[in-house]
Amino acid sequence: MSELDFISSLRALASHPAARGLADDAAVLEMGGEALVLTHDAMVEGRHWQPGQDMADVAWKLVAASLSDLAAKGAEPLGVLIGHSLGSGDDRFVAGLGEVLAEYDVPLLGGDTVAGTGPRTLGCTAVGRATHRPVPDRRGALVGETVYVTGVFGQAMMGLEELGSGSTNDLAYRRPRPLLAEGRALAPLVSAMMDVSDGLLLDCWRMAEASGLAFTLESARVPVADPARARACLSWGDDYQMLFTAPSYARLPVPAAAIGRVEAGPAALLLDGAPLTPGDGIGYRHG
């Protein structure tokens, strides 16, 4: 069963409105006049981090990925819970966890610890409070709006090649920075928003599918770290930038590039006029 098939099979079980049909970055739970935003991320050794990599960086990235999901909902973090598989470098993991929690002023609320054989798996659940209602959703894009992105794509891809060098690209891969302030600033203006973690093209396809509309993108408009490998930059993951739709006349509070347009459905992704699907290798998928 592929990742897409597995998620589809879960939708019948996720009937609560907070689950958003499993078509968004996070769950949004209405409670006592507030909206709680909940998200969970998992990382596997050998896939999400390199064997022998400093576990302090792994801890940072684990938490940052979940905080990035909160950023895409315009949420203020309230805390995280960590699932940890014991192994080498646990002292470094604790050190890195302390660094990322202090950097973003996020409390550790709990979690679970296990031990086993084989590749290690780590998890992080993040809880946040929505700062704007309605809470941004992948499903809200509107016909005629502009598709925007923050930042530069492909830095993490190049950072893996430059691992340990201390370069800007290296840090983008090892210690991504969730755009929490940017997400809160954009939340009142966007019709749809999500973070880009699995590749810009794949995540654009996901937003187009969730919204039931067509996204037409122009590759020349996307800021990339390596123009000679532009297509790879658009398909590689770990960038943790914001992807959102908004009217072209909107006065955006953060720097962003207009990379395309939302057209009437059916759901589709077109890059420079050519249709693309997940089967075309446009991003990272688990199986």
Question: How would residue 30 be classed by pLDDT, with cut points 50, 70 and 90?
Answer: very high
| Predicted local distance difference test score (pLDDT) of residue 287 | 47
Q: Are 157 and 225 in contact (CB under 8 A)?
A: yes
| Predicted local distance difference test score (pLDDT) of residue 281 | 83
| Predicted local distance difference test score (pLDDT) of residue 232 | 96
Instruction: Render the burial of 181-200: b for 16+ CB within 10 Å, e for the rest.
Output: ebbbbbbebbbbbbbbbbbb
Question: How would residue 118 be classed by pLDDT, with cut points 50, 70 and 90?
Answer: confident
The span from the CA of 203 to the CA of 269, in Å, is: 10
The span from the CA of 35 to the CA of 135, in Å, is: 8
Bond from prior residue into 134 cis (ω within 30 degrees of 0): yes
Average pLDDT, the chain: 93
52 contact partners, CB below 8 Å, separation of at least 6: none
| Predicted local distance difference test score (pLDDT) of residue 284 | 63
Q: Which of 128, 125, 106, 130 is nearest to 34 (CA)?
A: 130
| Predicted local distance difference test score (pLDDT) of residue 13 | 82
Q: Which of 281, 276, 203 is nearest to 244 (CA)?
A: 203
Q: What is the mean pLDDT of residues 188-199?
A: 96
Alpha carbon distances (Å) from 167 to 43, 55, 63, 106, 234:
23, 19, 21, 26, 21
Q: What is the mean pLDDT of residues 72-94?
A: 97
Q: Which residue has the higher pLDDT, 8 or 67?
A: 67
Q: Where are the beta strands (DSSP E) in the chain?
A: 27-31, 34-44, 75-85, 108-114, 121-130, 146-149, 192-196, 214-217, 241-246, 257-263, 268-271, 274-276
User: Is residue 139 scored above 90 in pLDDT?
Assistant: yes
The span from the CA of 122 to the CA of 128, in Å, is: 20
- What is the tens place of the pLDDT at every residue in 254-268? 999 999 999 998 999
| Predicted local distance difference test score (pLDDT) of residue 205 | 96
Cα 136 to the center of its chain, rounded Å: 14
Q: What is the mean pLDDT of residues 136-142?
A: 96
Burial bucket for residue 159 (CB in 10 Å: 0-12, 13-18, 19+): buried
User: Is residue 166 scored above 90 in pLDDT?
Assistant: yes
Structural domains in the chain plus CATH codes: 3-130 (3.30.1330.10), 138-280 (3.90.650.10)
Tokens 């770290």 sit at which residue?
Answer: 225
258 contact partners, CB below 8 Å, separation of at least 6: 146, 147, 148, 221, 248
Specify the amino acid at residue 149: V
Q: Of all helices (H) and strands (E), which one includes residue 230? A: helix 230-235
Question: How would residue 285 be classed by pLDDT, with cut points 50, 70 and 90?
Answer: low
Bond from prior residue into 119 cis (ω within 30 degrees of 0): no
Question: Among the listed ranges 17-26, 129-138, 159-168, 187-196, which one has the minimum average pLDDT value?
Answer: 17-26
Question: How would residue 3 be classed by pLDDT, with cut points 50, 70 and 90?
Answer: low
Q: What is the mean pLDDT of residues 138-160?
A: 97
Q: What is the mean pLDDT of residues 113-121?
A: 88
User: Is residue 161 scored above 80 in pLDDT?
Assistant: yes
- The order of strands in the sheet holding 121-130 is 27-31, 34-44, 121-130, 75-85, 108-114
